[in-house]
A and B are shown apart, each in its own frame.
Chain A
Amino acid sequence: MKIDVEHIARLARLGLTEQEKKLYGDQLSRILGHAEELNKLKTDNVAPTTHAIPMKNVFREDKAIPCEDTEAILRNAPAEESNMFLVPRIIE
């Protein structure tokens, strides 16, 4: 199994070193090759399970409740200004 490591890394927004690209290329082939074992299972009329217990959407009353402390949240920001998160310029 051949895997386009650079394409997948780009989708995941994940920078990889040249060494990692080679390593993951080999390892992913092996791991996903093992996953192909699943093709032995007949699943034609089987419904997929996303959660082990039945799930339905949960609503709460539409009532304002206090948010977490803004200061405590911003303390973790790598860069902030006037209660906003700063990121590198997006639009020239």
Chain B
Amino acid sequence: MNSLTAHELHQLLLNKKVSSVEITEAVFKQIEKNEDKVKAYVSLTKEKALKNAEEADKRIRSGENIPPLCGIPIAIKDNMCTKGTRTTCSSKILNNYLPPYDATIVKKLDDLLAVPTGKTNLDEFAMGSSTENSGYFTTKNPWDLKTVPGGSSGGSAAATAADECILALGSDTGGSIRQPASFCGVVGLKPTYGLVSRYGLIAFASSLDQIGPITKDVTDAALLLNAIAGYDQKDSTSVNRPVPNYQNSLVNSADKLRIGLISDLMGKGIDEDVKKAIKTAARVFESMGAIVEEVSMPTFEYAVPTYYIIAPAEASSNLARFDGVKFGHRSKEAPDLINMYYNTRKEGFGSEVKRRIMIGTYVLSAGYYDAFYLKALKARTLIKQDFEKAFKRFDILISPTAPSVAFKIGEKANDPLSMYLSDIATIPVNLAGLPAISLPCGFSKGLPIGLQIIGDAFAEEKTLQAAFAYEQHTDWHKKRPKL
């Protein structure tokens, strides 16, 4: 039962074939069985889950209008605030943090009576591509427990792939939804910047962060996006525009769709098996009547250095709030205020977070601002212009989500630059604020490969339609890991 999708379970709930409490119990049974191996969750919220499940069953019995996620177990990445429930960002500095409020998306899901299973593991403050930077433990890829699940939303992707939840929320700053979805063989959608409220999402890089769905198929991604999208007065970067019903985009047609295959992401540094899978996916689109042509994005080679200036710069500013004054860890070595700051941050932050604070502080410091930070902001303009040019010719763009399948735990842990370079296909999308989805499109050495579909700003509908049509013509999304 817990291996079904939200839309399948919704039908069973409506037909009274199953109750939300039964689904919830099945999910927690799976968690008990596999969590020792997978380690997807930082905290479980079974009590709250069962409370919502009972409420949901009551609502269903009363025969009211039942929203699609009512009574459906969902996992939440542990960088989204949940009122009164421990929220850590997988950081020691927030080990005992109990948010006084709910993130807007958490509140929205609670109002629908979705069932929160728990808070999932991530790279500390979402800085990383493997969950190896978590302050607590590394999550394992359910397809091969010796490999990483990707990151930073590795806990959410692994929980979804291991059927330890029905669907999940992740956040994506440079690929943190799409890359783990790719590594774990599930669907991950990063919406257009500003479509989903960031209120209550603990900030990493505010101009890049966006919350989105991690699900077992494209239909569930559309349903979850319906539930979380929309203007929020509490987020000043939230965009006030009408939100369509994304379920209407689930049309099985790619006829005459103009698709650009990004040639810069099909060359050096991309695994042969990955390239082959993406080329095969392009043929699938052509068989549906789509027109696929190659497109070159010459500024992409500058995307990684651009990102690794802008994101740490914003992070170094955002993370200044962790100073031991109002919440979180405070060092016992605090003879005066300045040493309280030094020691609190020294003890509370892990190695990657410190590295990024250092990079960010450096590129914003006097004498280096113009050469690094301002230069990166200009490069960001050029990357955005490459996309604008491409979307004059194409409806959507496709590429691999990641240069390879999931790598081994420990393989890149001591080489931050090599880890950063593996974000090459996802980072440009965040810099331009665009929507993109990753969905399973093949396997290499028993590990899933992800196809990335990128849309123009606020073109989630076209992006979802292309993804849905592809999914209808393949059965990669039906493959499940054996645990």
Interface residue ranges, A against B (CB under 8 Å): 3, 5, 8-9, 11-17, 20, 24, 27-28, 30-32, 34-41, 43, 46-53, 55, 57-58, 60, 68-69, 72-73, 75-79, 85, 87-90
Cα A51 to Cα B193 with chains together (Å): 9
0/1 string, B151-163, CB within 8 A of A gives 1: 0000000000000
Q: Which residues of B contact A40 (CB under 8 A)?
A: 302
Q: Interface residues of A: mostly helix, strand, loop or mixed?
A: loop
Contact partner, B361, options A8, A16, A43, Cβ 8 Å: A8
Cα A5 to Cα B221 with chains together (Å): 44
Cross-chain contact A3 with B362 (CB below 8 angstroms): yes
Cα A76 to Cα B378 with chains together (Å): 40
| B302, B377, B378 — most chain A CB neighbours (10 Å) | B378
Contact partner, A90, options B320, B328, B337, B375, Cβ 8 Å: B337
**What residue in chain B is nearest A7 (Cβ atoms)?**
B365
Cross-chain contact A16 with B346 (CB below 8 angstroms): yes
**What residue in chain B is nearest A75 (Cβ atoms)?**
B98
Stretch binding the partner chain, chosen from B177-185, B248-256, B380-388: B380-388
0/1 string, B274-315, CB within 8 A of A gives 1: 000000000000000000000000010110111011000000
Cross-chain contact A51 with B306 (CB below 8 angstroms): no
B50 within 8 A of A: no
Cross-chain contact B359 with A28 (CB below 8 angstroms): yes
A13 → chain B closest CB, angstroms: 4
Contact partner, B359, options A31, A39, A57, Cβ 8 Å: A31
User: Which 6 interchain pairs have the tightest Cβ spacing?
Assistant: A52-B433, A15-B346, A48-B377, A78-B330, A72-B100, A15-B342
Question: Considering only CB atoms and an 8 Å cut-off, how many residues of chain B contact the other chain?
Answer: 74
Cα A69 to Cα B305 with chains together (Å): 42
Q: Which residues of B contact A87 (CB under 8 A)?
A: 325, 337, 340
| A40, A47, A53, A60 — most chain B CB neighbours (10 Å) | A53
Cross-chain contact B343 with A15 (CB below 8 angstroms): yes
0/1 string, B336-354, CB within 8 A of A gives 1: 1110111101100101001
Cross-chain contact B342 with A35 (CB below 8 angstroms): no
A85 → chain B closest CB, angstroms: 6
Interface residue ranges, B against A (CB under 8 Å): 83-84, 96-98, 100-101, 192-194, 207, 233, 236-237, 239, 299, 301-302, 304-306, 308-309, 316, 320, 323-330, 334-338, 340-343, 345-346, 349, 351, 354-355, 357-359, 361-363, 365, 372, 374-382, 384, 416-417, 420, 431-434, 457
Cα A57 to Cα B432 with chains together (Å): 20
Asked whether A32 and B359 contact (CB < 8 A) given A37-B305, A39-B375, A88-B336, the answer is: yes
Cα A15 to Cα B432 with chains together (Å): 35
Cross-chain contact B358 with A9 (CB below 8 angstroms): yes
Asked whether A76 and B327 contact (CB < 8 A) given A5-B358, A53-B193, the answer is: yes
Contact partner, A85, options B237, B326, B433, Cβ 8 Å: B326
Cross-chain contact B328 with A76 (CB below 8 angstroms): yes
Cα A34 to Cα B420 with chains together (Å): 11
A21 → chain B closest CB, angstroms: 10
| B305, B337, B357, B457 — most chain A CB neighbours (10 Å) | B305
Cross-chain contact B431 with A8 (CB below 8 angstroms): no
Q: Which residues of A contact B299 (CB under 8 A)?
A: 41
Contact partner, B416, options A3, A9, A27, A89, Cβ 8 Å: A27
